[in-house]
Structure 1
């Protein structure tokens, strides 16, 4: 598999992102390997919080949430999906599939021998993370879902998503930071914009971010429809603590929290919240508030009682 690796120099001096990089090797399914980056902050003995990003962000999205969590003794792991951030970037769009992304992220769980995991998932972090919860429920202790979904293609995705999907394929130059900027309610500084653009020195590096919108199941003939339906069968029996923390200004995932609260037993009795003044990328708009909700959720649901 042909891939590009963003030069380390692109990540030097990024605003608020001075974390040490860590890497694992994952199968490229063509006889070779790819390098996958992840952050690993806090006490190695602390409970694990796994934070999964989506499209077209990377672990930089979680930079302002990490310290409030590690200060409380937690171990925070935040991978960059293949094609994103500091992870390797296959150059052919056909190299990216939903199943491959699942298998790549699964390596974080298996190679790091993670258990009793609290999952934080947003956007594609949920399409991947919720599938992994369904496939490995024994590894997860809790789930916080924020502005995400697990679509099967049985229901229309809505106008906001379809407009985004069309835009993502038609725009001549894929504006990674511009997309983040357009889906937040706070004004992003030039330093932050530079941070989101850092992994992509040229369009050649953007095959993954360009392909991702096409991998969301929007019809029942999608190759992942049956697997996502099966995942929902498991999630509808998932009784471990599950909380939703959607924002008040995201037209793409609006209403998804209600569906989860209706279908997933673990949501019962939890202090679900709506994060105010938050766009689709609520980790950027309201990182401290989301971290506070997460910490309270963990405190309210100690592992020893489940």
Structure 2
């Protein structure tokens, strides 16, 4: 396994990203050396944890407008970069990435930091990985806030997603910042687009971003049995679970219907519709923060 690491110089002068970097090494039996995960860690170390997990093809920069307000409310916020993204290491081959590997990498990270009393805030692939972590170690989690994501368990891929999956595999160009800009309702600035491009100095660094759409477990995907086992956990999960999907995401709009009623913890929650596109952290960070604080308050230790 060849491992790439984006030079620190690529991240100099980022707009609105004043957070100190933290790193933790985890093992992969296929790699000769440990993989390094980057994460943001803000707020009191003994406070209840809010874990903010990004998706495809973004990184922890996505949460820059949300971290401060949640810390100010008295929480410890952690926002990791998934392997292949942000300041984390990037295996160079698409075949290095599997859904199971992503879950295992982040499970090691959670266990190494010995996190508990976690409120998970997740979107896109942050939910596919994050919800699997909840299913694997439910005792570590106090609640979930889900926006624009899910836990697919087979079935056909929606047409709009199939188009995106084909583009990710076959387009000669894969402009990360411009892709994210297309997924927001507001227009990102040139500096913001550059910040999303920063982890990927050239095409060699984009293997993880390119392969993610093909790993989503629709029909025939080898991860479907793992998803079904995870759903067995969620069908008994009675901790607070709130859905906060956006009103203008063509990929996930209406996805809350797969959770509300099926997950016991969704009962009695103030599920809400946020205003924006797929990357709701850019369009409605205040609304997402309010949803997180609603659930995190319920998960605080007495």
State the TM-score, normalized to the length of structure 2.
0.97
Which residue pairs with 1:288 in the alignment?
A: 286
- Measure the CA separation in 1 of the matches of 2:147 and 2:137: 20
Which residue pairs with 1:16 in the alignment?
A: 16
User: Could you give the per-residue CA deviations for residues 187-232 of structure 1, whole angstroms, max 9, x where no partner exists?
Assistant: 100010011001011001101101111111121x321111100110
Which residue pairs with 1:261 in the alignment?
A: 260
- Measure the CA separation in 1 of the matches of 2:116 and 2:234: 18
- Measure the CA separation in 2 of the matches of 1:3 and 1:108: 18
User: Could you give the per-residue CA deviations for residues 149-202 of structure 1, whole angstroms, max 9, x where no partner exists?
Assistant: 10111x222111111111111210211111101110001000100110010110
Which residue pairs with 2:172 in the alignment?
A: 172
Which residue pairs with 1:71 in the alignment?
A: 72
Which residue pairs with 1:198 in the alignment?
A: 198
User: Could you give the per-residue CA deviations for residues 66-121 of structure 1, whole angstroms, max 9, x where no partner exists?
Assistant: 00011111100000000000001111110011111001111221010001100011
- Measure the CA separation in 1 of the matches of 2:67 and 2:301: 24
Contact 2:58 2:180 in 1 (8 A): yes
Q: CA deviation at 1:304?
A: 4.0
Q: What pairs up with 1:27-42 in 2 under 5 angstroms?
A: 27-30=27-30, 31-42=32-43
User: Could you give the per-residue CA deviations for residues 256-300 of structure 1, whole angstroms, max 9, x where no partner exists?
Assistant: 101100210000000000002x1000001111221122112323x
- Measure the CA separation in 1 of the matches of 2:13 and 2:43: 21
Q: What pairs up with 1:1-306 in 2 under 5 angstroms?
A: 1-30=1-30, 31-153=32-154, 155-219=155-219, 221-276=220-275, 278-299=276-297, 301-304=298-301
- Measure the CA separation in 1 of the matches of 2:7 and 2:259: 40
Contact 2:119 2:299 in 1 (8 A): no
- Measure the CA separation in 2 of the matches of 1:29 and 1:165: 29
SS for the counterpart of 1:261 is coil
SS for the counterpart of 1:49 is strand
- Measure the CA separation in 1 of the matches of 2:34 and 2:82: 14
**Which segments of 5 or more consecutive residues in structure 2 lack a partner in the other structure?**
none
Q: CA deviation at 1:302?
A: 4.1
- Measure the CA separation in 2 of the matches of 1:242 and 1:6: 36
Q: Hey, which bits of structure 1, 4+ residues long, moved more than 4 A?
A: none
- Measure the CA separation in 2 of the matches of 1:227 and 1:297: 27
**Which segments of 5 or more consecutive residues in structure 1 lack a partner in the other structure?**
none
